Amino acid sequence: MGCGNDERQARDLPRVVVVGLASCFGCQLQITNVEEHLTDVLGQIDLRYWQLASSEPMPEEFDVAVIEGAVTTEESEATVRKLRERAKCVIALGACAATAGIPGIAARNFFKRPSQVYKDVPAACGSMVVPRPVCAVIDVDYTVRCCPVDTMDFIDVLQRALYGSNKFDRTGTMCGQCKRNGTDCFFDQGQLCLGLVTVAGCGAKCVNLGRACNGCRGLSPDANLDAARAACVRAGVDPDDLDEALALFNQVERVQSARE
């Protein structure tokens, strides 16, 4: 499903709203970081609501909803359901929306946590629920991955949402990317790297700069966690470290698969 149908093209520009849930707002900032292309991007859409950048109020009608952040309250759960009802197309923006990301770390033993931060949880916190990605609450049409999203990746996904695309989502893991980049493997140095289970598409940005992959792009559908644990053992890495590292950006998926 996309937003680029004939009926749309016959009408005015697609009306877009951008909404932030529990997040650092960094992925929304990455949209503003389009910089010199900002007017080109804005020229293709009718940006109706974006609290971060504009004081225009939320409209009743729109075509595309871009949602950043994880769902962590009943209020935000209601917000995303309403957005889904009204929007023809929903784009999940960033790791928090795609996998629950960093806020998802709190998913384990969630109900013990608020009292570790507050003496009396303030009413302003709303009704807190276990952190979930947007796609666990509603159907999502497109996802921009990573923490933070890559600005050009966002433009690419927006183009696909606006005009349609026959491109399949990538499913391969990051290791193939490092092979193409010709970078050394962390496992050869006895160090853990999540590239072997993380879906490719960022160009292995962190590995190129000397840091192991943290899995912010999310698990690849091709990931074989048992084989990855075995690979850890062969490289002299404690396989428990793999599970601990996965909790950074993929905790919610881990909690779910543990229940299944």
Partner 1 sequence: MTRTAISVDHIARVEGHGNVHLSIKDGAVETCEMNVVEPARLFESMVVGRKFADVPYIASRVCGICSASHVITDILAIERIFGVEVTDRTRALRELLVYGSYLQNHASHLFVFAAPDFLDMASVFPLAKANPELFDQALGLKSLGNQLCNLVGGRSIHPITAVVGGFTHEPSRDEYLAMADKLDAEREFARAVVDLFNGFAVPDIATQGDMMAMVAEGRYPVADSRWARFLDAGVTFDADRACEQVEEYEVSHSAALFARCRQTGKTYFTGALARINASWGALSQEAKVAAAKAGLRPPERNPFLNNVAQAVEVLDALGRCADLCRKLAEPDGPFEGDSAPVPFEVRAGVGTGFTEAPRGTVFHQLELDDAGRVVHATIMTPTAQNCANLEADIRVLAEKLIADGAEAPEVRVEVEKLVRAYDPCFSCSVH
Shortest distance in whole angstroms from residue 167 CB to partner 1: 24
Question: Residue 54 — φ and ψ, nearest 5°?
Answer: -145, 145
Shortest distance in whole angstroms from residue 173 CB to partner 1: 19
Nearer to partner 1 by Cβ, of 10 and 124: the residue is 124
Nearer to partner 1 by Cβ, of 127 and 257: the residue is 127
Nearer to partner 1 by Cβ, of 165 and 247: the residue is 247
Nearer to partner 1 by Cβ, of 63 and 150: the residue is 150
Please give the residue ranges that form the binding site for partner 1 (CB under 8 A): 20-30, 32-33, 35-36, 38-39, 42, 47, 50-56, 69, 72-73, 76, 101-103, 105-106, 113-114, 116-126, 128, 131, 147-148, 151, 205-206, 209-211, 214, 244-245, 248
3-state SS class at 196: helix
Element (H, E) at 244: helix 239-259
Nearer to partner 1 by Cβ, of 4 and 29: the residue is 29
- Which amino acid is it at 89? C
DSSP 136: G
- Tokens, residue 150: 């890559």
Nearer to partner 1 by Cβ, of 56 and 222: the residue is 56
Query: Strands 15-20 and 89-93, how do they pair?
Result: unpaired
Query: Among all chains, which residue has been given the structure tokens 């994880």?
Result: 70
- Tokens, residue 103: 């806020």
Shortest distance in whole angstroms from residue 165 CB to partner 1: 26
Shortest distance in whole angstroms from residue 139 CB to partner 1: 22
CB 251, CB 136: distance < 8 Å? no
Where does 87-150 have alpha helices with state H?
94-99, 114-117
- 246: nearest Cα among 41, 47, 104, 96: 104
Nearer to partner 1 by Cβ, of 76 and 220: the residue is 76
Shortest distance in whole angstroms from residue 11 CB to partner 1: 21
3-state SS class at 174: coil
Shortest distance in whole angstroms from residue 252 CB to partner 1: 13
Query: Strands 89-93 and 142-144, how do they pair?
Result: parallel
**104 burial level (CB within 10 Å; 0-12, 13-18, 19+):** buried
CB atoms within 10 A of CB 154: 24
